[in-house]
Amino acid sequence: MPTSPIAVIVLAAGQGTRMRSSTPKVLHRLAGLPLIHHVLESARALDPAHLVVVVRHDRDTVAASVLEVAPHATLVDQDELPGTGRAVEQAVEALPADFAGDVVVVSADVPFVDLATLTDLLARHREAAADATLLSAFLENPTGYGRIVRRSDDSVDRIVEQKDATEKERAIAEINSGTYVFTVAALRTHLPFVTPSNAQNEKYLTDVIGLLTLNGGIVAAKPVDETWRVEGINDRAQLAVAARRLNDRIVRHWQLEGVSILDPQTTWIDRDVSLAADVEILPGTQLKGATVIEAGAIVGPDTTLVDTEVGEGATVKRTDATLAVIGARASVGPFSYLRPGTILGADGKIGGFVETKNATIGAGSKVPHLSYIGDTEIGEGSNLGAGTITANYDGVNKHRTVIGSHVRMGSHNVYVAPVRIGDGAASGAGAVVRKDVPPGSLALSVAPQRTISGWVEAKRPGSAGAVAAAAALAADGAEHDQKSANDEPAE
Ligand code: UD1
Ligand code: CA
């Protein structure tokens, strides 16, 4: 770790034109986190005395995102002069006048530069007693990056941007990663002399390198071994490549922690997800946000969990869940839709084609088939029939349904909220429950069935139904005649 105080400057003012997006580039997400959060994490890990973030485009949105993870960062607003050089110049002006340490400069669009890389770079800088040390990389395809022009003795001469480079310079494989250490003195001395006389009419930070070497300064360059760490993200194709790479690393990390991931290619795991040993992830699964999965749970296939907790030994199959809590050994899916505020107790069940929202379903309680359960509380050990609907919305307000423990409610019930069902209550099929049902009571709301015998023969003589009925009645004979003695006759 560094011994003298350092400042870190994060460059985040650029527009990110190449993303062609209404979202600022540095807020595009990688493994669930905005690009700039990845960079801020490494920056903060250096424990700098000053952390300065330069913003401009979509200033307020970017600033708010920065303060989420770096509440003590100093935000500097870049003025109308464009370029990384201008950004750093203004950031340096925001440092205390007596700050005399080293300045680490990182770009918000280069997300994989980690603490170890920055620490090594600082060490190299101090070892070389350099005025500037840049992190470089030899890339197979250096297109788009600034190239490092070296002298015949191999020392760094200057950096030339892609757009300003000659054909010969474009053939240079060593690129500037956009990550540097400068003495603050080097920046204070040379930035005022950087001019925007280049292809992009911008004040380039990279021009400080040429000014330094021209004036007898010492510039060191440290190539990285893991070249992917310095890949910048300027368009959506690069973003997708970076996302794949990071996901591969996250998947591998969890595999080594004891998680079975059957198909790494179709499993996407956000950076802040947490998985216990012996979790099994089946193909086509996306685990997002702060999702937590406990030991022995089986998740997937084709499941998306956002900020969801899955308890030990639970099974979650072909499910979409957001801000839900699934208890130990509970079973969810297939084809379940758990919306925010769903809390399923231990050993509970949310079955096929069930949608839940703001619903607490107690331990061992089951909503097994084809239901909508919203704004509802269900006690323990209860069972709701197939096709249960909680009618929670009267067109103006939402109301709650409260169902007790050990109830046995029939199929195709509608609970017209607000309504309460007592412990141990029961209901018949098709009940429309508008009034509270006391504990232990049976609720029936459907009129007694009328059966009109001979109706088909009377109304649809000669139809396939009438013929089939006649044959069945003939076969049943006397037995049937007796049974239907009480039925109403057809008119
Ligand atoms: C920059 C470097 C290039 C390097 C590459 C590495 C310069 C002139 N060029 O090019 O040598 O190979 O990064 O990824 O520095 N930004 C500001 N203010 C501005 C312009 C940009 O804060 O006025 C920020 C951007 O938000 C971004 C970073 O600086 O986070 C880099 O800017 P970008 O325009 O992406 O530079 P590159 O063309 O990639
Ligand atoms: Ca860039």
pLDDT for the residue 479: 59
22 CA to centre of ligand 2 in angstroms: 17
| pLDDT tens digits, one per residue of 152-186 | 999 999 999 999 999 999 999 999 999 999 999 99
What's at 251, amino acid-wise?
V
Ligand 1 proximity of 178 Cβ (cutoff 6 Å): yes
Q: Which residues are annotated as a binding site for Mg(2+)?
A: 109, 234
Residue pair 305/316 in contact (Cβ under 8 Å)? The answer is: yes
Q: Quote the tokens at residue 60.
A: 């307020």
pLDDT for the residue 300: 98
Predicted confidence (pLDDT) at residue 3 exceeds the cutoff of 70: no
What's at 4, amino acid-wise?
S
Predicted confidence (pLDDT) at residue 1 exceeds the cutoff of 50: no
DSSP annotation of 295: T
Q: Which residue has the tokens 């790479």?
A: 245
Residue pair 34/272 in contact (Cβ under 8 Å)? The answer is: no
Residue 433's φ and ψ, nearest 5 degrees, are -95, 105
Residue 312 sits at the vertex; the CA angle it makes with 310 and 313, to the nearest 5 degrees, is 100
Residue pair 333/354 in contact (Cβ under 8 Å)? The answer is: no
Q: Quote the tokens at residue 124.
A: 């190299």
Ligand nearest, relative to CA of residue 28: 1
Q: Global pTM?
A: 0.91
DSSP-derived 3-state class of residue 150: strand
Residue pair 404/422 in contact (Cβ under 8 Å)? The answer is: yes
Residue pair 349/368 in contact (Cβ under 8 Å)? The answer is: yes
**Can you spell out the DSSP letters for 348-381?**
-EEEEEEEEEEEEE-TT-EEEEEEEEEEEEE-SS
Omega prior to 301 cis, within 30 of 0: yes
Q: Quote the tokens at residue 92.
A: 């340096």
Pocket-testing residue among 78, 89, 107, ligand 1, by greatest number of atoms within 8 A of Cβ: 107
| pLDDT tens digits, one per residue of 172-230 | 999 999 999 999 999 999 999 999 999 999 999 999 999 999 999 999 999 999 999 99
Predicted confidence (pLDDT) at residue 263 exceeds the cutoff of 70: yes
The region, left, alpha or beta by phi > 0 then psi within -120 to 50, assigned to residue 154 is left
Confidence of residue 447 (pLDDT cuts 50, 70, 90): confident
Distance CA 418, CA 394 (A): 10
Of ligand 1's atoms, which has the minimum distance to the CA of residue 25? 26
Would you please indicate which residues are annotated as catalytic (active-site) residues? 369
Residue pair 251/261 in contact (Cβ under 8 Å)? The answer is: yes
460 CA to centre of ligand 1 in angstroms: 81
- Region 266-292: mean pLDDT is 98
- The residues placing their C-beta within 5 Å of ligand 2, an ion, are 109, 232, 234
What's at 44, amino acid-wise?
R
pLDDT for the residue 2: 46
Q: Quote the tokens at residue 24.
A: 């600022």
Distance CA 108, CA 326 (A): 37
| pLDDT tens digits, one per residue of 74-115 | 999 999 999 999 999 999 999 999 999 999 999 999 999 999
Confidence of residue 491 (pLDDT cuts 50, 70, 90): low
Ligand 1 proximity of 176 Cβ (cutoff 6 Å): yes
Displacement of CA 89 from its chain's centroid (Å): 35
Distance CA 420, CA 401 (A): 6
**Can you spell out the DSSP letters for 236-258?**
HHHHHHHHHHHHHHHHHHHHHTT
| pLDDT tens digits, one per residue of 31-72 | 999 999 999 999 999 999 999 999 999 999 999 999 999 999
Ligand 1 proximity of 82 Cβ (cutoff 6 Å): yes
Confidence of residue 486 (pLDDT cuts 50, 70, 90): low
Ligand 1 proximity of 85 Cβ (cutoff 6 Å): no
Q: Which residue has the tokens 């401009």?
A: 56
Ligand 1 proximity of 177 Cβ (cutoff 6 Å): yes
Cα dihedral across residues 44, 104, 234, 155: positive or negative: negative
242 CA to centre of ligand 1 in angstroms: 18
Predicted confidence (pLDDT) at residue 480 exceeds the cutoff of 60: no
pLDDT for the residue 280: 98
pLDDT for the residue 481: 52
Of 297, 301, 254, whose CA–CA distance to 309 is shortest? 297
- Mean pLDDT of the residues in the chain: 96
